[in-house]
Amino acid sequence: MLALDLPSLLDPDSGATPEHRSEVAHIKRFLEWWMADPAFRAALPGDPVGVTRAAGLLADPLAIRPLWEFDRQHPVHQQEPHPSVLRYRAFMREKLAHREQMQRVGSHHRGYQAWRQRQIRRCYGQLGPAKGDALVHAGAAIELCQGCSVGCWFCGISALKFAGIWPYSSENAALWKQVVEILGQQMGEPAGRGFCYWATDPLDNPDYERFCADFAERLGHFPQTTTAQPMKDPARFRKIHAMARQHSHSIDRFSVLSLGMLRKVLAEYSAEELLCVEMVMQMEGAWASKAYAGRARTLPERWAKSAGQAAPDPQDTSTIACVSGILLRMPERSFEWITPCPADEQWPNGYKVLARHQFAEGPEFAAQLQATLARLPERLPLDQKLQIRKDLRVLSSEKGFALEGTFWRHEFAAPPGLGPLLEAGQSDPMELALALEERLPMPETLALLHNLFEQGLLEETF
């Protein structure tokens, strides 16, 4: 049960009535159209019921006015919200809790667990609280195709042109089962919350669901699907979504590229069918923002036309990458170790690549992954020079020093001198502790340095 004694809508067996599911599904559909269509947004306040019915939407726009009307002087906001609003908000809270839970999963590998936590904290600092919440830091993304057939101009991870699939042949299937098992054994739960696409569209591979079924059998979760091809084969998508819902209560996603495509999607699928399918609105005029990352960065004029403003300042870029772990490319038999960051000159696709490997067979993959994981320190490494993250400014403060970034400021009590020493990045922890010994006992300096490390405030070498 949720707050207000409402049954879960994500759990298909929660006992939620069809009427409850249907009402929330139609509100969701109304808000999707509202997000997507600027003409609908503009016309709605003048004639809410007429405009809603003309768009073929069944939600009651007056009952749910607080969900779409942002005029702060409008008295309706002061009133107790209609029960429909409360039911929709409960559903949204449930989805947010689901996302939070994905971020919170832990790994039995202590080095990986500590490293992933540091990346989560770093991302909150570098990308802000909203993006920090949104990034689930899945442990694995797996490509089953080479390139993507969709070719979006804004692709935040610069997908290459589609060049073929990795078929579910008997040889590939045997390797796949080994690889998935190794991921689970070595990385644990975060890998199980991974997904089988990256700079690819899952539906490009006709064997996608067979790979997903093996993944679910071995790692306990059916991978989440995001596709920009919702109309390619609706019957097939329905089957995949049903498998995901039945196995793992997953939420899938459509990336919707135009209003025309959205019209077709709404005509094809009922509101109830898409209750657990999120719509990512990518069309011009949508009330949604794209990340200035990947291919979008190479097309500033196209970006300006689409966003209605020039490219953001370097400190305001973002990312669509949401993996702190392995990016596995099965067709190439290669993997990278990655973590999200704001897109910049060095990492234009919005994620850092910390290691790259090529493998031929399962045992080689296992050894390489093990070696990669062994390089992730659980605690502050005592043999490395420590440097404050380059996106942070080091300022002296009354107590000691402060670190200031785009979104946060952190204050630390410390003897004068520690801030500049950390900024210079020329000393390891013992050298720093010795330099400050007369003003701060060594264990306290080391504890402070460890705290900076745990908070993800130090540059990490790999």
- Which residues here bind ligand SF4, judged by CB under 6 A? 148, 150-152, 155, 159, 199, 201, 228, 255
Nearest to ligand SF4 of 37, 201 (CB atom): 201
CB of 265 to ligand SF4, least distance (A): 15
In the bound state with ligand SF4, the residue whose beta carbon lies nearer, of 159 and 326, is: 159
Question: In 3D, which of 198, 257, 186, 206 has the Cα closest to residue 223?
Answer: 198
Are residues 126 and 94 in contact, defined by beta-carbon separation less than 8 angstroms? Answer: no
Minimum CB separation from ligand SF4 for residue 195, in Å?
A: 12
DSSP-assigned states of every residue in 92-109: HHHHHHHHHHHHH---S-
Strands 323-329 and 334-340: antiparallel
Alpha carbons 147 and 142: distance in angstroms, whole number: 12
Nearer Cβ to ligand SF4 (226/455): 226
How far apart are CB 233 and ligand SF4 at their closest, in Å? Answer: 16
Q: Closest approach of Cβ 24 to ligand SF4, in Å?
A: 28
Min. distance of Cβ 327 from ligand SF4 in angstroms? 13
Output 26 or 297, the one with its CB closest to ligand SF4. Answer: 297
Distance CA 296, CA 442 (A): 49
Return d(Cα 364, Cα 366) in angstroms, integer.
5
H helices of 308-355, where?
none
Residue 458, beta-bridge partner list: 388
The nearer residue to ligand SF4, 197 or 222, going by C-beta atoms, is 197
- Which residue lies nearer to ligand SF4 by CB, 158 or 384? 158
Three-class HEC string of 320-366: CCCEEEEEEECCCCEEEEEEECCCCCCCCCCEEEEEEEECCCHHHHH
Element (H, E) at 219: helix 208-219
Provide the residue type at 345 as one letter.
E
Closest CA to 118 of 380, 413, 430: 380
Q: What are phi and psi of 413, to 5 degrees?
A: -80, 120
Cβ 215 to ligand SF4, closest distance in Å?
A: 19
Between CA 221 and CA 228, with CA 225 as vertex, the angle to 5 degrees is 175
Nearest approach, Cβ of residue 320 and ligand SF4 (Å): 8
Nearer to ligand SF4 (CB atom), residue 155 or residue 448: 155
Distances (CA, A) of 137 to 11, 124, 189, 339, 453: 23, 12, 12, 8, 19
**If residue 356 lies in a helix (H) or strand (E), which one and from where to where?**
strand 351-358
Residue number with CB closer to ligand SF4 (253 or 263): 253
